[in-house]
């Protein structure tokens, strides 16, 4: 069946963010300039031309605000300053200017759901009384039972353990109150029903927009509004989903009230010339609920975790693409596509086959080579989809997840809160390898790195790939260059192609305007060689690693695709 998605409706007056390739920099792990083993803003500036050569359109930099770095910077102590270990305000000003000089946009990360417990607002709580303005900025509620010894509800933290902690003041007083922290106990949740909280964050947006930042990725965009009288939840009856963990219907995820906040923020973003953009990290339970975040007066884009969660699964990938494209077209917004970030197992490992076919969630027997081949094929297919694409630092090198970090090196609060039962996310945050034969593989001038790097990093280092046409880095560079040059990509509708061999997804991309050749984007998700219809031609524009060949006989020629490969065919 051919499904024709007319996604070009919003493309006639294309905006950069509608089909941009955005590269996520996790600053602690990108490049260190000072030698303290922690990546920093000058380290990004030193390697900006590497990103220009890669062919991206924009950087999204994870938080670098003043922070105790308990959660890698997603615990902010001062939203208007830079943590001294990561740089200075002058450094970010230099980086913004350098990006713009190179035609790159720069997107920052903002964390409105909670502050760090080091934030002045929280420090004020610890020296204030119940009912004070200080307390009203946070989700602080009275305990239950005798002496308030029970939390206001049974809500759980995403990072394991309870979602509430007893409020103990600076003078040691144990209050009859508890505070909510959906993440770590050092990340108290703000109360977004408080006008002062809303006003402060609009000012924070303006502070950075005035410095030239082109937009924000919004952390936990689905979580800011909670039921004001927290009810208990029946977690046991909840079906665990890939999205939102075990709490798909939690009274603290994806509440309708969050959309009022995004409408307020959109007004601020639109008040700039050029308008600034807002991208939501919204773990919504369905593509339809996700699309609500992209209504014309709300966010410009949101991460599509439904597609990320689909994994290397033909049916789920196709369903997710159909649902995403259709629901986004309904609200006139471009879809986004992402396979890796700083919170999930790198897809070069996550797509690896396991002994029993179960998803890769912890150190299991995976075939790294097949995982990497599948990941490259999946990315080549992703880059052919309509909308914008998000890449995570190091995926262009084919980096695998590092499962065997020494336990004493781990820093993710998930590891500590789970009492060592959940190894957390450090495995996808290991500092990047730049030079195979230098200490810390060129990450830091003193050879230090805040997480130990595995010996195999030598083989993945940038200097081992940059002159190798068969490397993942070369493939990403070719794909991004081709994507930029193809008017059919990002500008036009997509339709599934009839006649695709079993186990292959094949979509046709074309422009609404005549005269531009269309492209067939094909991925072979099977472990077998497949033969494409001769009518599809053999003009290969791009091919992932693996066997792709043209088979000819007297009458015609057709393309043969090896297992787990992807191609772009000009038609």
Residues that bind ligand TEU (CB under 6 A): 71, 74, 111, 158, 183, 219-220, 244-245, 281, 283, 342-343
In whole angstroms, what is the distance from residue 43 CA to residue 48 CA?
9
In whole angstroms, what is the distance from residue 327 CA to residue 525 CA?
25
With contact defined as beta carbons under 8 Å apart, do 492 and 510 qualify?
yes
In whole angstroms, what is the distance from residue 164 CA to residue 178 CA?
6
- Pick between residue 30 and residue 460 the one whose CB is nearest to ligand TEU: 30
- Between strands 494-496 and 58-61, the pairing is unpaired
In whole angstroms, what is the distance from residue 392 CA to residue 381 CA?
16
- Between strands 336-338 and 301-302, the pairing is unpaired
Question: Residue 359 class from Cβ within 10 Å (0-12 exposed, 13-18 middle, 19+ buried)?
Answer: middle
In whole angstroms, what is the distance from residue 523 CA to residue 543 CA?
10
In whole angstroms, what is the distance from residue 148 CA to residue 144 CA?
5
| Interhelix angle 472-485/368-382, nearest 10 degrees | 10
DSSP state of 13: T
Q: Is 565 helix (H, G, I), strand (E, B) or coil?
A: strand
With contact defined as beta carbons under 8 Å apart, do 541 and 497 qualify?
no
Phi/psi at 208 (5° precision)? -85, -35
Mapping DSSP onto H, E and C, the string for 240-283 reads CCCCCCCCCCCCCCCCCCHHHHHHHHHHHHHCCCCCCEEEECCC
Q: Is 388 helix (H, G, I), strand (E, B) or coil?
A: strand
- Between strands 504-509 and 58-61, the pairing is unpaired
Nearest to 502 by CA among 540, 530, 473, 534: 530
Nearest to 567 by CA among 556, 546, 202, 401: 546
Taking every pair of C-alpha atoms in the chain, what is the biggest distance, in angstroms? 89
With contact defined as beta carbons under 8 Å apart, do 154 and 246 qualify?
no
In whole angstroms, what is the distance from residue 181 CA to residue 191 CA?
11
With contact defined as beta carbons under 8 Å apart, do 429 and 72 qualify?
yes
Task: Answer yes or no: 219 catalytic.
Answer: yes
- Rounded-to-5 percentages of helix, strand, coil across the chain: 30, 20, 50
**Catalytic residue chosen out of the listed positions 32, 189, 214, 281:** 281
Residues paired with 552 in a beta bridge: 557
Task: Answer yes or no: 15 catalytic.
Answer: no
In whole angstroms, what is the distance from residue 326 CA to residue 340 CA?
23
Residue 369 CB partners (closer than 8 Å, separation 6+): none
* Torsion 152-153-156-161 (CA) sign: positive
Instruction: Give the DSSP H/E element, type plus range, for residue 379.
Output: helix 368-382
DSSP state of 225: -
> Catalytic residue numbers?
219, 281
């Amino acid at each position: 069946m051919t499904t024709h998605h007319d996604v070009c409706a919003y493309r006639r007056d294309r905006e950069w963010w509608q089909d941009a390739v955005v590269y996520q920099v996790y600053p602690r792990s990108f490049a260190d300039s000072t030698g303290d083993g922690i990546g920093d803003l000058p380290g990004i500036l030193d390697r900006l031309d590497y990103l220009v050569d890669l062919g991206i359109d924009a950087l999204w930099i994870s938080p670098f605000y003043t922070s105790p770095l308990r959660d890698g910077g997603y615990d902010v102590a001062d939203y208007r300053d830079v943590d001294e270990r990561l740089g200075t305000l002058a450094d970010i000003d230099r980086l913004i200017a350098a990006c713009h000089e190179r035609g790159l946009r720069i997107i920052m990360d903002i964390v409105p759901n909670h502050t760090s417990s080091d934030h002045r607002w929280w420090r004020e709580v610890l020296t204030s009384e119940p009912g004070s303005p200080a307390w009203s900025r946070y989700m602080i509620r009275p305990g239950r039972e005798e002496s308030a010894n029970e939390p206001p509800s049974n809500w759980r933290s995403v990072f394991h353990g309870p979602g509430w902690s007893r409020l103990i003041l600076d003078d040691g007083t144990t209050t009859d109150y508890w505070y909510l922290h959906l993440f770590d106990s050092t990340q108290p949740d703000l109360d977004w029903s408080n006008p002062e909280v809303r006003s402060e964050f609009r000012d924070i947006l303006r502070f950075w927009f005035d410095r030239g930042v082109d937009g924000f990725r919004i952390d936990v965009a689905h979580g800011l509004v909670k039921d004001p009288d927290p009810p208990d939840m029946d977690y046991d009856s909840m079906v665990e989903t890939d999205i939102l963990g075990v709490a798909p219907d939690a009274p603290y995820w994806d509440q309708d009230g969050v959309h009022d906040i995004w409408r307020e923020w959109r007004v601020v973003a639109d008040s700039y010339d050029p308008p600034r953009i807002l991208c939501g990290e919204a773990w919504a339970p369905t593509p339809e609920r996700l699309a609500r975040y992209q209504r014309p007066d709300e966010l410009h884009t949101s991460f599509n975790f439904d597609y990320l969660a689909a994994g290397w699964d033909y049916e789920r990938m196709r369903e997710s693409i159909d649902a995403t494209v259709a629901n986004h077209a309904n609200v006139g917004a471009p879809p986004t596509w992402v396979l890796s970030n700083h919170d999930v197992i790198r897809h070069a490992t996550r797509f690896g086959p396991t002994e029993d076919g179960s998803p890769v969630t912890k150190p299991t027997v995976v075939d790294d080579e097949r995982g990497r081949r599948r990941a490259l094929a999946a990315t080549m297919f992703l880059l052919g989809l309509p909308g914008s694409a998000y890449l995570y630092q190091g995926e262009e090198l084919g980096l695998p997840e590092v499962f065997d970090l020494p336990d004493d090196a781990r820093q993710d609060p998930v590891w500590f809160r789970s009492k060592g039962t959940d190894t957390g996310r450090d495995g996808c945050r290991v500092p990047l390898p730049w030079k195979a034969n230098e200490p810390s593989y060129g990450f830091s001038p003193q050879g230090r790195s805040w997480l130990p790097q595995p010996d195999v990093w030598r083989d993945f280092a940038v200097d081992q790939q940059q002159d190798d046409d068969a490397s993942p880095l070369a493939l990403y560079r070719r794909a991004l260059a081709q994507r930029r040059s193809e008017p059919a990509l990002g500008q036009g509708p997509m339709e599934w192609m009839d006649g695709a061999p079993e186990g292959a997804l094949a979509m046709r991309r074309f422009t609404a305007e005549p005269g531009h050749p269309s492209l067939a984007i094909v991925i072979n998700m099977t472990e077998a060689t497949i033969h494409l219809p001769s009518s599809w031609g053999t003009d290969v524009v791009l091919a992932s690693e693996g066997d792709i060949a043209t088979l000819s006989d007297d009458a015609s020629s057709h393309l043969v695709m090896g297992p787990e490969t992807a191609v772009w065919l000009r038609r």
